[in-house]
Structure formats: C-alpha cells, structure tokens
Structure 1
Amino acid sequence: MSANAKDRPATASWEIREATAQDWPAIWEILEPVIRAGETFTWDRDTTEDQARAKWFKTAPGRTFVAVGTGRFDGVVLGTGELHANQGGGGSHVANAGYMVRAGYGGQGAARALCAYSLDAARAAGFRAMQFNAVVESNVRAVAAWQAMGFEILATIPEAFRHPRLGYVGLHVMYRKL
C-alpha cells in the first residue's frame, strides 16, 4: 500500500508491511524502552511483555505493521504501528492508531511513514476519520509531525498526563478526516 503524495515523507529508507508473529521480538525491543520511559504513551510503565503483545497486536479491521529498514538499515525493524477503531458501535467509523520508533532512529521520518501507511489502511478499511486520544503535549516532535500530516488539535486536557520528569502536562486530542 503506498501513501498518498500529501501524506508521504520526503525521503524513505524502509518498507512498511503487516507485522507477523516473528516480528514480535524486534517490536518488543522498540516498545519496551518507550513504555518504561513513561514520557509519550499512557501505558503503565510496568506493562509486561505479554500484556504489551496483547495490546499492540490488533485483529481486523485493525492491524499491526512494521517499518523494516532498507539500504544501510537493511532488515532492521525501525518502527511499528497499530491501527484500530477508536470506539465501537456508533463510533466505529473513526480510526485510532499508535506508533513507536526504535531508539536512535527518531527524526528520520519513520513515524510519519507509519502514520501515512495507517491513514491509507484506515481509508481502505472504510474509516472516515482518524483520532489520536492522548498525544502528550510535551512530545513536541510528535505534535508537529501529526500537524504536518493534517491533524488538528481539537482539545487539550490540562494536566491529564503525569510525565516522569516534567510533572503533570496536557494531553492533546488530535483529529483528521480521511
């Protein structure tokens, strides 16, 4: 699946594909430090590997995917994402997604590529919009990336996230039509 031109990062050195069970060790290598740091995701910092796997791997119409490096990063899982319905029932037409990038590989466009992939996947699955429920306002790179991808901040819930270094910071609700 290729991203729409307006959603695609300027450069890419990876291939994004559906994740398999064999990808789990590499995905866990990405998720664990992010979860333990407790700075960007609302997951409990003591989430176990089994809990993380159950939470990250989605079933249809949701999906889990990976960005696998090419060229100088050949075969390295550089990032991962997951896509699912934000709500059930009457809200099931709005998607939600999350992304994590391997430590040391941030700022190279992998998160934007994962986002673009999920936007295409959401459109293909019949979702009409995508919503991020909890973008930590101190995660300024992510906020800027999602805004560049067409998301707008609908609201900021003050002091809704307890950051381990900064204390209580806001959580943005971000949205974009597909």
Structure 2
Amino acid sequence: MTDIRVRPATDADFNAMWTIFQSHVAEGETYVHDGTTSREEALDYWFAPGVATWVAVKGGERILGMYRLQPNQLGRGAHVANASYMVSPNAQGVGIGHLLGEHSIGEARRQGFLAMQFNFVVSTNSRALHLWKRLGFSIVGTLPKAYRHRRLGYVDAYVMYKLLEDPARWALPEED
C-alpha cells in the first residue's frame, strides 16, 4: 500500500470515477442511486459546490476508490460531517476502504468538523459495517426496510455516528 496515496479529485478523474460509480449502482446492494442515474447527475453528486472529493490512486494515477465529504446539514447542523465512499471492484478487500475512511476522518477534523454521520449504511453491507465499527463509528439508529436491495428486497439501513472531538472541548459559535 506504499505506492497508494489519497489526493483531491479533479475533473480529469471523473471517467474512472464514473466507471466505479456505475459498477456499484449496477450491483444494487450498497448505494441508493439506481441505473437511471445519468453521468451528469453522478458528476454533480461527486463535484457539487461544498463537496470535497478525494481519490485513492496507485502508481501512475490508477483510481482505486473515492470519497466525498460535506456538512451533514446546513446551519446549526453543519459541525457534523457526512461522507460517501466507493472502492473499485478490482481493488476491494485490500484496505482501500480503510485508507479512505481514515483519510476522511482526518480531513473532517482538518476542516473543523466535530463529528461524522453516515445517514444510510445498508444493513447487509457487512464490509462497510465492519470497517466503520473498526474506525470508531456506532450504529445510532435503524431505518426499518429503508433500502430496496436488488437481490434481497427491502432491508434495513443504519445511521452511524462518530465524535471527532471531545464535546467538552467544543467551543460554541457566537449566536446568529
């Protein structure tokens, strides 16, 4: 993994990102997007204003995975980060997700977020659940039958949360 690095994504990365995105969407087991999501919609998703997008690259810039980081909510909820991840099917099982997860936690802290929340982790996505628990996230809510899995039908989704800083040290912003 020494020749793999994480860097900000650029427009030139999108062709490879689109391929990874399409494979996850076609699988229909982990992401809410479906087969009708257009290339333009996917581009907007990964490169929307206010979204920081990162890619894991190997050697000659081969993209192995990506994540996007943004505030989970506006205004009074903007101190909590939200992130989404995808790893190339050709790079799964070798630690790319862990690398991206660790990087995103560090980047969220660097950007000043105090916590991180995943709004929709599919309950049957055992790899993701294992990874997020290993990185300190907890399941704080269950959304019964909220995801329409391509093979299994309706399955639960989880809300997962991690504090990035001790709340006793959180400074309150000046009143709006």
Question: Which of 78, 103, 106 is residue 89 of structure 2 equivalent to?
Answer: 103
2:54 pairs, out of 65, 76, 82, with 65
1:21-57 CA distance string (max 9 Å, x none) = 1111111111111112221011233100100000111
Equivalent residue number for residue 104 of structure 2: 118
CA radius of gyration, larger in: 2
Q: Runs of at least 4 residues of structure 1 off by over 3 A?
A: none
Does structure 1 residue 42 correspond to structure 2 residue 28? no
TM-superposed deviation, 1:13:
4.2
The equivalent residue for 1:8 is none
The amino acid that maps onto 1:20 is T
Structure 1 unaligned segments of length 5 or more: list them.
1-10
Cα distance in structure 2, aligned partners of 1:121 and 1:80: 13
**Structure 2 runs not aligned, ≥5 long:** 165-176
- Residue 144 (str. 1) matches residue 93 (str. 2): no
Note the C-alpha offset of 1:12. Answer: 5.0
What CA RMSD, in Å, does the superposition of the two structures yield over aligned residues?
Answer: 1.2
Give the Cα separation in 1 of the matches to 2:102 and 2:8.
Answer: 14
Question: Is structure 2 residue 114 aligned with structure 1 residue 128?
Answer: yes
Partner of 1:4: none
State the aligned residue count.
164
Give the TM-score normalised by the residue count of structure 1. Answer: 0.88
Q: In the alignment, is residue 93 of structure 1 matched against residue 82 of structure 2?
A: no
Distance between the aligned counterparts of 1:44 and 1:26, measured in 2? 18
For CA contacts below 8 A with separation 6 or more, give which structure has more relative contact order: 1
CA distance in 2, matches of 1:25, 1:44: 18
Question: CA offsets per residue over residues 148-169 of structure 1, 9 Å max, x none?
Answer: 0000011111111010100111
Q: Distance in 2 between matches of 1:67 and 1:108?
A: 12
Give the whole-Å Cα distance in 2 for the aligned partners of 1:108 and 1:13.
13
